[in-house]
Chain A
Amino acid sequence: MLCGKLGVLWRAVRQLSGDDAYERYLKRHAKHHPDQLPSSREEFFKQWQDSKWKGVKRCC
C-alpha cells in the first residue's frame, strides 16, 4: 500500500523534473514512427533542453 503510493510519488517526481523524458520519448516514438530509428539519449536530451528554455518560464 505504502509502496504503491511511494511509487506514484516517485513517478511524479521523475516526470516533473524531466528525468523520464527520454523514456517517454521512446514510448511515443515506437508508437508513431515504428519504422525510424529513435535519437540517442544524448541527442534527445540536447534538443529537449534547448526547446524547454524558450519563452517566459519563471516568474517573480
Chain B
Amino acid sequence: MSQLFKKLGWVGIAVLGAAAIGGIALNRGESINTLWFITAAVCVYAIAYRFYAAWIAASVLTLDETRATPAERFDNGRDFVPTNRWIVFGHHFAAIAGPGPLVGPTLAAQFGYLPGTLWILFGAVLGGCVQDMVTLFFSMRRDGKSLGQMARDELGSIGGAAALTATLAIMVILIAVLGLVVVNAMKHSPWATSTVAATIPIAMIVGLYMRSIRPGRVLEGSAIGVMLLLLAVVGGGWVDHNETLRGLFDHEGLPLAWAIIAYGFMAAILPVWLLLAPRDYLSTFMKLGTITLLALAIVMLRPEVKMPALTQFIDGTGPIFGGALFPFVFITIACGAISGFHALIASGTTPKLLANERDIRMIGYGGMALESFVAVMALIAATVLEPGVYFAINSPAGVVGKEAADAVARISSWGFPVTVEQMQMLARQMGEKSLFARTGGAPSLAVGMASIFGSAFGQGMLALWYHFAIMFEAVFILTTLDAGTRVGRFMLQDMLGNIWPKLGETSWMPSVLLTSGVIVAAWGYFLYIGVIDPNGGVNILWPLFGISNQMLAAIALCVATGIFVKSGKLKQAWITGLPLAWLVTITTTAAYQKIMSADVRVGFFAAANDMATKLAAGVLPPEKAAVAPQLIFNQRLDAWLTLFFVTLLWVIVLDMLRVCARHLAGKPVPPISESPHEPSRLVEDYVRD
C-alpha cells in the first residue's frame, strides 16, 4: 500500500512539473508568476535526482557502500578525513557556488526568460550534475586525484597537458571578467566603492583576530566581520552624503581597474591568513545567507515576471551581447547549467572527505542541482524588472547612446517602454547617480534583489538593500579573484619548476613576485581593455569565458567517457557522451561564429577590420580613435585565443576517441588507474553522528 502511495506521489510530482514547465513555455500573457519557475525547478530536480541520478549510481557507476573510500584508507586528520555527508555537502556547495550563476543568467535574460530557464534546468540535470557526480566518483576511486592527473593517466600526456593549459587559461579570463563586473558596479558610485574598499581592512581585522587575538576562533571572528560588513554598507551611505568624502570615492572605470589590479597583486603575495582566508570566511557566510534570504523572499513574495518568454533578440541583434540564441544562450549560461570548473573541485578537496561511496549522489548530483537553483533565482531577479529598465541598465552606451534621452528612445523603440524620469527615480531610490549603461550584470541583479528584498522586508531601505547586494557580489567576486590569482601562481610555478627548479619553490620571494606578476598582468590586460572599450567589454569577455568554461567541462566529460569505454561500459557511456557531443557542438559553433562571422557585433576579425577601416578613413570620434589601435589588437588577439581554445578542445576529443577506438579494437591503451578494492571498516554510526 505504502509502495503504491509513493509511486502515486512521484506521478503527482511529474504531472505538476510538466504542468509548470508547460505553463512557463506556453504563457504569452502580460506576466507570469515566479511560483511557476520555482515549482518547475523543484519538480525537475526531484525527479532527476530520484530516478536518473539513482540509476546512474546503481547501474552505471555501481557505487559500492562496502568499499573503503580514500578518506577512510588515508585518514590523516588533515586533508583525508571521513566526514558526515551533510558537512561534505556544505563544503562542496560553498566551493562550487560562485558569482558565475548570478551573472550569466542575468545577461542571458536579453533573449527572454524561456531559453535561459530551460537550459538551466535541463542542462543541469542531464549535463552539469552528471559531470560533477561522475568526476567526483572517478577521482574518489583514484585516491582523490585531480582532473589533470586523471586525464594524463587515462588518456595520455596530451590529455593531461590540455587539461592543465585549459585550467590556467580559464582562470585568467574568469578573473578578468569578474574584475570588470566589479569595476562596472563601482564606477561613479561613491557608496559602492567605499563599501567595497572597506571590505579589505575588515578582512584584515578578522584575519588578525583569528590569528593572534583569539587563535582559531573562526565563528567569533566571522561574526565580527559580518557585523562590520553590514556597518560598511550603512557607512557607505554616509560617505555618499558627505561632499568631501564623496569625491575621494567617485572614480572613472580606469583608476578603479588599476586599483583592482594592484589589489590582486597584493592579495597574491600577502600571507593567506591576513587577507584571503578571512575574506573567504566572510564571503561564504554572506553568500549562503544572502542566497537563503533571496529564496525566502521569492517564495514569500512570488513576484510577477515581466520579461516576455522570448524577445526579438534571439536573432542575434541583442544590445547586451551580440549573437543568436543558438549557440550563445548555452555559452552565456555556463555556471548554473554545466560548469567545467566544478570538475576541479570534484577532483580536489571533496573526494578526500567522502566517508561512503553512496554519498556521491547527494554531493555530486545534489550539489549541482542546488547551484542550478541559484541560477534560476538570478534569472528571476533579472526578469522581475520592467524589461525597459533591465535593458537601460545593461545596454552599453556604445550601443544605445551616451545621453539618457537617446538611450530611452532607442530602448522604447524596441517595444520595451522606459522613460528618463523612471530611470532617475529608480537611481534615486537605489542611492545612485545614474543606472544607465551599468553593464556586467551586477547592478541589474542588485536592483532586482533590492526590489524583491524591499517588497518582502520593507520598502524604505531600497538604497541599503541595493548596496548590500553590490557588497555581497563584490565580496565573493574579490574572493574568487584572490584565490584564482594564487592558484594560477602555483600552477605557473609548478610549470616553470620543470625548467628551473628554483622557480618552483613556492616560498622563494623572487619567484613568487615574478609568477604573481605574470598572472596579474595576464588578467589585468583583459580587464584594462574591457574598461576602455566603449561597448562595455563584458560583451567580449563573457562569451570568451563561457567558451573556455564549456571547454573545461568537455575535457572532464572526455576523461569520463574514455574511462567508461575502457572499463567495458560502452553501452552506458552516453550519459557523459551525449552532454559531451552537445558541448562540442555549441562550443565549436560559437567559436566559429566568434572568429568567422561577418557581423561586427559577433565576429572578432570582422569587428577589428571594421574599426581599422573606420580609423583609416578618419570617421571615428576622437575619444574612440584614441583607443582604437588597442581595441583592434585586442579583437584580433581574442580571435586567436578562441581558435586556440577550440583547437585544444578538438585535440582532447580526438585523443579520447583514439584511446576508445584502440581499446575497442583490442589494442593496448593506458590501463585503468583505479585503486584496488578494500573493504570498509567504518561502522555506520561512527560517521553519521
Contacts and interface: CB of A to CB of B under 8 A. Distances in A.
Partners in one complex: yes
A19 to B, nearest CB: 4
Contact of B479 (A21, A28, A45, A58): A58
Interface string A15-40: 11111011011001000000000000
B95 A55 contact: no
Interface in B512-563: 545, 549
A1 interface: no
A51 B592 CA distance: 43
A56 to B, nearest CB: 5
Given A55-B349, A56-B345, A60-B178, A19 B218 contact: yes
Given A14-B219, A60-B100, 9 more contacts: A12-B84, A19-B216, A19-B217, A44-B216, A45-B215, A46-B211, A58-B95, A59-B100, A60-B480
A58 B218 contact: no
Interface stretch (B315-323, B335-343, B598-606): B335-343
B487 A56 contact: yes
B211 A59 contact: no
A60 B483 CA distance: 11
For A15, A22, A28, A53, the residue with the greatest tally of chain B CB atoms inside 10 Å of its CB is: A53
Nearest to B345: A59
Contact of B483 (A13, A49, A51, A57): A57
B86 interface: yes
Interface in B324-353: 335, 339, 341-342, 344-345, 348-349
12 contacts: A12-B87, A17-B218, A17-B219, A18-B218, A22-B216, A42-B216, A49-B277, A53-B276, A53-B277, A56-B345, A56-B483, A59-B344
Interface of A: 12-19, 21-22, 24-25, 28, 41-42, 44-46, 48-60
B218 A57 contact: no
Interface in B170-204: 174, 178
A58 B94 CA distance: 8
B152 interface: no
B149 interface: no
A50 B219 CA distance: 18
B562 to A, nearest CB: 22
Given A60-B98, A60-B99, A60-B339, A45 B210 contact: yes
A25 B78 CA distance: 9
Given A17-B281, A57-B348, A45 B79 contact: no
User: B174, B219, B276: which has the most chain A beta carbons within 10 Å?
Assistant: B219
Nearest to B476: A58
B280 interface: yes
A22 B214 CA distance: 13
A14 B281 CA distance: 12
Given A50-B272, A59-B342, A60-B480, A15 B210 contact: no
Contacts of B215: 41-42, 45
B460 interface: no
**A-B residue pairs, 10 tightest by C-beta:** A60-B100, A45-B216, A42-B215, A53-B272, A19-B219, A19-B218, A58-B483, A60-B98, A56-B344, A16-B90
A17 B480 CA distance: 18
B410 interface: no
B273 interface: yes
Given A45-B210, A55-B348, A60 B341 contact: yes
